[in-house]
Structure 1
């Protein structure tokens, strides 16, 4: 632990030296900020935080605990991933499939075919698409578009 305190003191002394050089160059705001940062390691040593932290880092039980926490996190993430992909037990999937129901009004998105029909009347069959004349070429289909483009000089 004495080594850690010595390193923190050396870092603080170096930071204060850099802050002094910066102040000599008339950059006082930056020098003040550097001095503040360089005093942090000495303050941490003085309150005992560095000793507490070094005790944690060098104990194998702490590293084993971190490994267990990592394993728990991995298990949580894996179960979440499997759950989102539709996994689970066969009973859960069967219950979910049974819970799904068709749309309340399946024809609600169908386009309207004209004016309303009387209640109870059978649905009208859609009108067949008009057949193209045999004499028309494929170019005739685009004649309207070509006329518009020519009109605009394109």
Structure 2
């Protein structure tokens, strides 16, 4: 009942401000203020305010939110500890996993390159151009010829 009264009072105040704004010949702003001020009454009429106030004022709902917070905190702590222990020692024994030294096939996830790719990946020696002094202008000459210069 209190929430509905507060929403109705807020809507009445908003409509009053909209009327004053319209009196000052600022009709666009007055219309916008009137639209915003009608929202609380609409929420009361649809029953959303009653539903929300029923949830907010129940202690069991707040206890549920507290338990959710505790669960989230526990998950966060375990993830933090788990990330710090990867690659380290846990109670005297080594942790084995994807990063551990005792992995079954440590190079299994490495990309395999065939003989054709390895040959193509090796850098090819550049051909010497006609210019002297050890500089290679073949790329520049190819671009200029392409553009007809």
Is the shorter-chain TM-score for this pair beyond 0.5, marking a shared fold?
Answer: yes
The alpha-carbon distance between structure 1 residues 89 and 19, as it changes in their structure 2 partners (threshold 3 A), is farther
Give the unaligned 5+ runs of structure 2: 111-149
**Is 1:93 the counterpart of 2:95 in the alignment?**
yes
The alpha-carbon distance between structure 1 residues 51 and 92, as it changes in their structure 2 partners (threshold 3 A), is farther
Distance 2:24 2:81 in 1: 61
Distance 1:32 1:85 in 2: 58
Distance 1:75 1:63 in 2: 18
Q: What are the residue-to-residue correspondences of 1:101-112 with 2, within 5 Å?
A: none
Deviation at 1:83, TM superposition (A): 2.3
Aligned equivalent of 2:138: none
The alpha-carbon distance between structure 1 residues 97 and 49, as it changes in their structure 2 partners (threshold 3 A), is same
Deviation at 1:92, TM superposition (A): 6.5
TM-score (norm 2): 0.60
TM-score (norm 1): 0.58
Aligned equivalent of 2:25: 26
Number of equivalences: 102
Aligned equivalent of 1:59: 58
Deviation at 1:86, TM superposition (A): 2.9
Deviation at 1:61, TM superposition (A): 0.6
Query: Alignment RMSD, CA only?
Result: 2.5
Aligned equivalent of 2:3: 4
Distance 1:19 1:72 in 2: 47
Aligned equivalent of 2:83: 84
Distance 1:66 1:89 in 2: 36
Q: The residue matched to 1:98 in structure 2 has which SS?
A: coil
Q: The residue matched to 2:85 in structure 1 has which SS?
A: coil
Distance 1:55 1:48 in 2: 11
Output one character per residue of 1:41-96: Cα deviation in whole Å (capped at 9) or x when no partner: 10111011111111111111101100111111111211222222235973662442
Aligned equivalent of 2:73: 74
Give the number of the structure whose residues are more often helix, by fraction.
Answer: 1
Distance 2:27 2:62 in 1: 43
